[in-house]
Amino acid sequence: MSNMNRNRQESATQASQTHRVNMQKNLQRRLETARAKGDEALIRLLEAEANYIG
């Protein structure tokens, strides 16, 4: 694999990891808000989403 291809692959991997971390942080904020409001239905949905994305 050439250096250019390796660099592109590493960049794509890093972007994917960053996206996953951002999704998890966003989900955590949404979950905290739902818990603060006592919205049980939303809490269950968000917990299911958390299990889906890992």
- Asked if 7 and 19 count as a contact pair (C-beta separation under 8 A), the reply is no
- Asked if 27 and 49 count as a contact pair (C-beta separation under 8 A), the reply is yes
Please state the pTM of the whole predicted model. Answer: 0.75
Q: For residue range 1-54, list pLDDT tens digits in order.
A: 678 788 888 888 999 999 999 999 999 999 999 999 999 999 999 999 999 987
